[in-house]
Structure 1
Amino acid sequence: MSKATGSRKSAIAAAVAEYDSGKFLSDLDRRIGFRTESQESHQAPQLHAYLNEEMVPTLKRLGFTTKVVANPAGVDAPFLLATRHEGDDLPTVVTYGHGDAVRGYDNQWDEGLEPWKIVVRGDRWYGRGIADNKGQHSVNFTALGAVIGARGGKLGYNVKVIFETGEEIDSPGLNQVCAAEKEYLKGDLFLASDGPRVSAERPTVFLGSRGELNFDLEVNLRDGGHHSGNWGGVLRNPAVTLAHAIGTLIDRDGKILVEGLLPPPIQSTVREALSDIELATDANAPAIDPTWGQPGLSSAERVLAWNAVEVLAFKAGNPDAVANAVPPTARAHCQLRFVVGTDWQNAQKHLEEHLALHGYADLVKVIVKSGVAASRLDLEDPWVDWALKSISQSTGKKPALIPNLGGTVPNAIFAQTLGLPTVWIPHSYPACSQHAPNEHFLGSVARESLALMAGLWWDLGEDAGRIVSEKQ
C-alpha cells in the first residue's frame, strides 16, 4: 500500500471536480473531434492521430511510458500499449479502451446535432463514439489522474494499458498483439469499461461476455427465376423451404430446438446474481416480448445466462423490385449468441445433423463463419466482491452484478490469452443509441462514474496486494 497524502474522499472529490469545472467535457469534446471511423479505411490517419496526438500525451502526463504498435492483421488500425511501473513487487492492473467508432452517418442525426462535436441537451451529451468508447475511457483515465494526485504520485500498484483502434471492425490483430506482448501485459487484474449499465440509475459490474457465431443458411435450387404463373405450384420455392428449415431450429416463440446449440444449466450463483436484474427499464428501451425465448426463465436470464439464435437478414428474389417469378435461391444470415459452456466450435456439425434429421440435408447449405468465444469470471472470485463493495461505498447504491454482457466484447482475449481475471464497469446505459445516429452519454452517469472509478482506483492501493496474496 502506498502512503497517501490525501484520502479516498479527496480523490473522489478531485475526480468530480473535473466534471463540475467543465474540464472533463472540454477534454471529451476534443476527443470526439477525431473522426475515428475504423470501418472507413481512408480514416486511418485519424486513428493514428487519436493515439499520437491525444492518448499518448494523456498517458504520459499520468506517468506512463508508451509505444504504438502496428496492427499485425494487415489493417491500418494501430495499438497503443503503455505501462506505469512503480515496483516489481507490486500488483499490476491492466486496463483497456478503444479509440475507434462506427461510421458517423452524419446526415441522419437530428437537426442541430452532429457526430464529431459534442452537443449538450439537458443531461444528454451527443457525439459519435461518446458512449462507445471515448466517454468511458475518458472517465477512467480522468479518475486515475485524480487518485494519482491524491496519493502524492504513488498508487501502490502498477498499471498497464491496452488501447486499440479496430474494435468496431471486430478487433483484428488484438489477440496476436496480446499473445506477442504477453510478458509486457502480465498482470493480476483486468479492469476496464465498455457496454451499458443495466439501467442509467444503477452502477453495474459484468465479468465477461456472451460469445458470437455468425452462420449463413442457403437454399440454391436452380439457375434463374421462372414465371410464377407458368411454373408456380410445381417448382419448389427456396424461400418457403428455407423458412421451414429455420422453423426447425427455432420455434415460433424463439426457443432453440437444436440440442447441440443449448448452454449448460444455469448455475445457482448466476441465477442468484440475476434475481434482482430488470431489463428495459429506461424510457427509450423497446418493450420486451414476455413469451419470447426459453420458457421458464426471466428476461435477464434469457439475455445474460442463456443462448439465442437470431435471423438477422433474409433474402429471396428482390423485395425492392418484385418480379413475377419463383426465385432460384434464398439466403438467411443468422447468429448464435452463447454463454460459457456451449459447444459452439461444433456448430456446423450440430446444424447439419439437425437439418438432415428434418429432411433438409440436400436442400439447405450451412456456412459457419469465425466466432468469438464466450468468457466469464467466476462470480465467487474475490475481485468481484471487492468491486461491488467499492462501488457501493462510493455511490451509496447496490450495484448490479451480471455474469456476462449480453453482447460481445473481446473479453476472451484478456481472460484466456492473457489469463487475467476480468472485471468490467460500464459507464453507458442501454438507450444511448450506440452505433446509431444520435449516440449520447448521460452527464449524470459520467459524474457518478468519475466518483466510483476514483474509488476503485483508490481502493486498489489499499487492497490489491492482499487480494493477490490470497489468490496465490
Structure 2
Amino acid sequence: MTERAEVIRAAQTLADDARFETDLAGLVCRPTESQNPARRDEMQSYLENLLVPRLMASGFACEIHPNPFGNPFLVARRVEGPDLPTVLGYGHGDVTRGQEGLWSDGRKPFEMCREGDRLYGRGTADNKGQLLINLLALDCVLAQRGRLGFNAIWLIEMGEETGSPGLAEFCAANKALLAADVLIASDGPRMTPETPLVFLGARGAINFRLEVDLREGAHHSGNWGGLLADPAVILAQALATITDRRGQIRVREWRPTSLTPEIREVIAKLPVPVGPEVDPDWGESSLTPQERVYGWNSFAVLTMESGVPAAPVNAISGRASATCQLRFVTGTDAEDIMPALRRHLDAEGFEQVRVVQEEHGYFPATRSDPDNSWVRRVVASLEHTMGVAPHLAPNLGGSLPNHVFMDILGLPTVWIPHSYGGCNQHAPDEHLLLSVVYQALGIMAGLYWDLGEAEITCLADL
C-alpha cells in the first residue's frame, strides 16, 4: 500500500471507529446561533475553547480577531516554507436557530444523535461537520508525512448565517495575513450523495421589497369596493410583469450574458439536483434544468402581505408589500439590478410601486475559470482517489461569501462540499450522512497529500 493510500485509509477509519462522530458531537452541542443575540458569548468561546486547541495541536499559530461589525474571526496559520504554495481554507462555526421543539422523534438540535447513516444535529451539515472533515484530513497527512508540504491558513468566521458581517472589511484590512495561492473550502451541498462535487463560485443574491402604500387604514369592502384602489391587486399586477406565467424573466437587464458554449459544456455533464421533483414547465424554456440553476438567473417572491393574513376582514387594505429575491450569475450587472427594475416598473405603468433594497442578504456573483490550473489539480486528485471524475459546476445555485476571496483577496476558489441537498440545513432534522463523511475524509486526505507533493504541477496529468 502506498503512503497516499495509507493516509486515505487512516482518514476513513475516523468514520469507522466513531472518532469523527465523537468529535462532531462536541462541536454540535455548542449552541452557536448567530441569529440569536443571546448566544453572542458562545461565539468567542467556541473559537477559543474548541477550535484553537485543535489547531494549535496541529502546529497552527492561532489568533482570534475582534469584529466591530459582528462576531469574531479566527485566523490559524501553519507556514512550512516561503517557497511553498499557500492554501487558504474557510469555514464557519455559527449555525441558524436550533428550532427546538420542531425536530422529529424527540430529537434536540444541540444533542447530536446517530440513526443509521445519519448524524442529526444543528450544524452537522452546515458547517461544523464539513469543516471538521477537512481539519481531520489535514491531521492525517501530518501524522503520515510529518509535514503538509504546503503552507496552510484557516479563516473561520462566526457570522455566516447572518450574512458574514465584517468579513469583507476584515479581509481587505488583512490581505498580507491571508495571502495565499488558492482558496479550497467546503460548504453547501453536493448534487448527489454518491458523487463528489467541485464548484467554482456562487450565484449572487439580492433581496428587496416591493411596496404599494395608498392610504392609512383599511376601509369596508362593501361600502368602498370599486371606489378605492386595492394595493394588493396593484402589487400582484406589478409582480406579474417581472416574469411570465412560467417564471421566465422579463426584465431585460436581468437576463445574463455569461452562458457561453464553454460554460454550457461544463453544465451539460451535471445531473439534475436531487430533491423535490423538478417542474418541467417552470423557468427558462430554452434551457435545461441544470442550466437554469447553474447558468441563469431566477426570481422568487419570498413573502407577500396585505391586510391581516391570520385574521382576514371584509376591508380593502391601505397597503401591500412583497419581499422578493433575485439569484443571479456572473454576466449580470449587479449595480444595475435595482435601477433596471425601477425602469421596468415605470415602463409598465407602476410608478406607485416602491422598490426598497434590503440591507442584508446581498452577495455578488462569482465564478473561477473552470480551466484554472488549481481546478485541474483538485479534479485530478479527486478522480485519482475515487476512480471516477467528480461533478464540476461553474458555480453553486445558492450563495456564499465567495466574492470576498475572489474580488478582495484575488484568489481562484475551489469548493468541495460534503453535504447533500436533502440534509435539511436551516430546518429541523438537519443531518450529515456518514457514508458521505467516509468518502469525504478520503478525498480530502488524498487532496491534501497531493498538494504537498513536490510534483504538484503534474497532478493534472494523473
TM-score for both structures, normalised by structure 2: 0.97
Aligned residue pair count: 457
Supply the RMSD in Å over aligned alpha carbons: 1.5
Unaligned runs of 5+ residues in structure 2 are none
Unaligned runs of 5+ residues in structure 1 are none
1:193, 1:424 → 2: CA distance?
5
Verify: 1:124 aligned to 2:118, yes or no. Answer: yes
Pick one of 215, 218, 231 that aligns with 1:238. Answer: 231
Pairs within 5 Å for 1:15-414 = 15-73=11-69, 75=70, 77-151=71-145, 153-281=146-274, 285-361=275-351, 363-370=352-359, 371-414=362-405
The letter of the residue matching 1:156 is: G
1:228, 1:448 → 2: CA distance?
62
Verify: 1:12 aligned to 2:8, yes or no. Answer: yes
Q: Does the Cα contact within 8 Å between 1:91 and 1:465 map onto a contact in 2?
A: no
* Alpha-carbon offset, residue 112 of structure 1: 3.2
Q: Does the Cα contact within 8 Å between 2:258 and 2:331 map onto a contact in 1?
A: no
2:369, 2:168 → 1: CA distance?
22
In the alignment, what sits opposite 2:434?
443
1:80, 1:467 → 2: CA distance?
33
Q: Does the Cα contact within 8 Å between 1:347 and 1:368 map onto a contact in 2?
A: no
Q: Does the Cα contact within 8 Å between 2:138 and 2:148 map onto a contact in 1?
A: no
In the alignment, what sits opposite 2:453?
462
The letter of the residue matching 1:107 is: G
Q: Does the Cα contact within 8 Å between 1:36 and 1:47 map onto a contact in 2?
A: yes
2:226, 2:5 → 1: CA distance?
76
Residues 301-335 of structure 1: per-residue CA shift (max 9 Å, x gap): 10111001110000010111111110110101010
SS of 2:175's equivalent in the other structure is coil
Verify: 1:452 aligned to 2:448, yes or no. Answer: no
Q: After superposing the two structures, state which structure 1 stretch, 6-15 or 238-247, moved more.
A: 6-15
Q: Does the Cα contact within 8 Å between 2:201 and 2:414 map onto a contact in 1?
A: yes
1:332, 1:447 → 2: CA distance?
44
**Runs of 4+ residues over 6 Å off in structure 1:** none
2:90, 2:346 → 1: CA distance?
44
Q: Does the Cα contact within 8 Å between 1:382 and 1:467 map onto a contact in 2?
A: no
1:424, 1:393 → 2: CA distance?
18
* Alpha-carbon offset, residue 267 of structure 1: 1.6
Q: After superposing the two structures, state which structure 1 stretch, 422-431 or 319-328, moved more.
A: 319-328
1:265, 1:192 → 2: CA distance?
25
TM-score for both structures, normalised by structure 1: 0.95
Q: After superposing the two structures, state which structure 1 stretch, 343-352 or 35-44, moved more.
A: 343-352
2:258, 2:423 → 1: CA distance?
32
1:131, 1:200 → 2: CA distance?
13
Q: Does the Cα contact within 8 Å between 2:126 and 2:425 map onto a contact in 1?
A: yes
Q: Does the Cα contact within 8 Å between 1:115 and 1:127 map onto a contact in 2?
A: yes
Q: Does the Cα contact within 8 Å between 1:383 and 1:467 map onto a contact in 2?
A: no
The letter of the residue matching 1:32 is: V
In the alignment, what sits opposite 1:434?
425
* Distance verdict in 2 for CA 1:161–1:90, change over 3 Å: same
The letter of the residue matching 2:442 is: A
* Alpha-carbon offset, residue 397 of structure 1: 2.7
* Alpha-carbon offset, residue 33 of structure 1: 0.8
* Alpha-carbon offset, residue 463 of structure 1: 6.0
1:85, 1:464 → 2: CA distance?
19
* Distance verdict in 2 for CA 1:15–1:126, change over 3 Å: same
* Distance verdict in 2 for CA 1:265–1:375, change over 3 Å: closer
Q: Does the Cα contact within 8 Å between 1:131 and 1:441 map onto a contact in 2?
A: yes
1:265, 1:393 → 2: CA distance?
31
* Alpha-carbon offset, residue 279 of structure 1: 2.2
Residues 182-223 of structure 1: per-residue CA shift (max 9 Å, x gap): 101000010000000011111100001000111111111111
* Alpha-carbon offset, residue 348 of structure 1: 2.2
Q: Does the Cα contact within 8 Å between 1:19 and 1:447 map onto a contact in 2?
A: yes
Q: After superposing the two structures, state which structure 1 stretch, 36-45 or 161-170, moved more.
A: 36-45
1:238, 1:83 → 2: CA distance?
56
1:326, 1:405 → 2: CA distance?
42
Q: Does the Cα contact within 8 Å between 1:228 and 1:326 map onto a contact in 2?
A: yes
1:165, 1:125 → 2: CA distance?
22
* Distance verdict in 2 for CA 1:42–1:12, change over 3 Å: same
SS of 1:246's equivalent in the other structure is helix
SS of 1:462's equivalent in the other structure is coil
Q: After superposing the two structures, state which structure 1 stretch, 42-51 or 406-415, moved more.
A: 42-51
* Alpha-carbon offset, residue 6 of structure 1: 7.1
SS of 1:388's equivalent in the other structure is helix
Residues 200-255 of structure 1: per-residue CA shift (max 9 Å, x gap): 11110000100011111111111111110011012111101000001111111000
